[in-house]
């Protein structure tokens, strides 16, 4: 029993020291968003735990919608869909206006709420800064291949269901800048200039916000798009970025 009590005290002290360490780091760096216990705010810069907080919204639809409202993101709640093993109960359709400056093509994409929340942060903190850095022009529109699709992984007849089957993923095909230039994954990923660098920057930035990010570097099935999803990855919160 004494050994158990000693081990418990040691763990408690380790947690206390860790918490103090996080607090000091955030204070010194002036980055309160890095504190693991700070409530998620979609308008704040990306912190060390932003991705985990976004993934945690998969179990709290009301909280997710509240965060979208607070951030000024316009959306329409979608009616629940049940279709065999497919469907969703937390869908929203992003609409024009509000705090968002990026449109979608096709228009007004519908996704699960956690994906919509991550897309908002991705736009503000990753996509637009990268576009201005590489092109001196903001992004006006994201081109995509859709979200909800009742299918298994890679369209197979057996095996695990895709996150698309729950509207929990979006496949991004390209970007249209405000000045009319177009950057596509299929056409520009393998380049060496600003277009390729921009695509890699937005891919890398998405890795801190989505549970899974897959690009042409992963396999040929993703040669023409970036797959972004908020899949549950268990207690350890495993994340994939390739």
**pLDDT one-digit tens code per residue, 6-32:** 656 656 556 556 656 655 555 545 688
Is the pLDDT at 83 greater than 50, yes or no? yes
Structural domain harbouring 24: 1-30
Q: Are residues 13 and 59 in the same domain?
A: no
Asked if residue 236 belongs to a domain, the reply is yes
Do 10 and 45 share a structural domain?
Answer: no
Q: Supply the pLDDT for residue 98.
A: 85
**What percent of the chain stands above pLDDT 70?**
85
Residues in a beta bridge with 182: 176
Please give the average per-residue pLDDT across 68-91, as a whole number: 95
Return the pLDDT at 229: 96
Residue 217 lies in a domain: yes
Dig out the tokens for 84 from the structure.
């065999």
pLDDT > 50? residue 237: no
**Judgement on whether residues 15 and 68 belong to the same structural domain of the protein:** no
Residue 152, classified by CB atoms within 10 Å of its CB into exposed (0-12), middle (13-18) or buried (19+), is: middle
Quick one: which H or E segment has residue 226? Answer: strand 226-229
Q: What is the count of structural domains for the chain?
A: 2
- Whether residue 216 lies inside any domain: the answer is yes
Handedness of CA 36, 42, 47, 48 (dihedral sign): positive
Please give the C-alpha separations between residue 125 and each of 8, 128, 205, 213, in angstroms, as whole numbers. 40, 7, 8, 17
- Alpha-carbon distances of 222 from 215, 216, 225, rounded to whole Å: 6, 5, 5
pLDDT (tens digit, 9 = 90+) per residue, 109-137? Answer: 899 999 999 999 999 999 999 999 999 99
Q: Where are the alpha helices (DSSP H) in the chain?
A: 2-29, 50-55, 61-71, 113-122, 128-135, 185-188, 194-206
Q: Are residues 81 and 25 part of one domain?
A: no
Inside any domain, residue 169: yes
Residue 35 domain flag: no
Residues 11, 67, single domain; the answer is no
Quick one: pLDDT at residue 163? 95
32 burial type by CB count under 10 A (0-12 exposed, 13-18 middle, 19+ buried): middle
């Amino acid at each position: 029993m004494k050994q158990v009590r000693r081990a418990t005290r040691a763990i408690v002290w380790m947690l206390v020291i860790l918490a103090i360490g996080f607090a000091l780091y955030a204070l010194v760096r002036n980055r309160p968003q890095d504190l693991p216990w700070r409530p998620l705010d979609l308008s704040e810069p990306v912190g060390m735990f932003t991705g985990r907080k976004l993934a945690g919204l998969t179990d709290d639809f009301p909280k997710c919608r509240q965060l979208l409202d607070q951030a000024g993101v316009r959306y329409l709640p979608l009616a629940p869909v049940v279709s065999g093993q497919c469907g969703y109960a937390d869908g929203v359709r992003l609409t024009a206006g509000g705090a968002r400056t990026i449109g979608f093509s096709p228009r007004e994409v519908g996704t699960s709420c956690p994906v919509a929340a991550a897309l908002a942060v991705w736009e503000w903190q990753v996509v637009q800064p990268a576009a201005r850095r590489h092109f001196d022009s903001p992004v006006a529109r994201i081109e995509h291949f859709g979200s909800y699709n009742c299918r298994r992984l890679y369209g197979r007849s057996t095996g695990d269901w895709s996150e698309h089957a729950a509207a929990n993923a979006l496949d991004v095909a390209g970007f249209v800048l405000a000045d009319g230039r177009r950057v596509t994954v299929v056409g520009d990923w393998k380049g060496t200039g600003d277009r390729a660098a921009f695509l890699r920057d937005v891919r890398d930035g998405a890795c801190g916000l989505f549970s899974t990010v897959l690009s042409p570097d992963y396999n040929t099935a993703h040669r023409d798009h970036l797959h972004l999803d908020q899949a549950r990855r268990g207690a350890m919160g495993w994340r994939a970025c390739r």
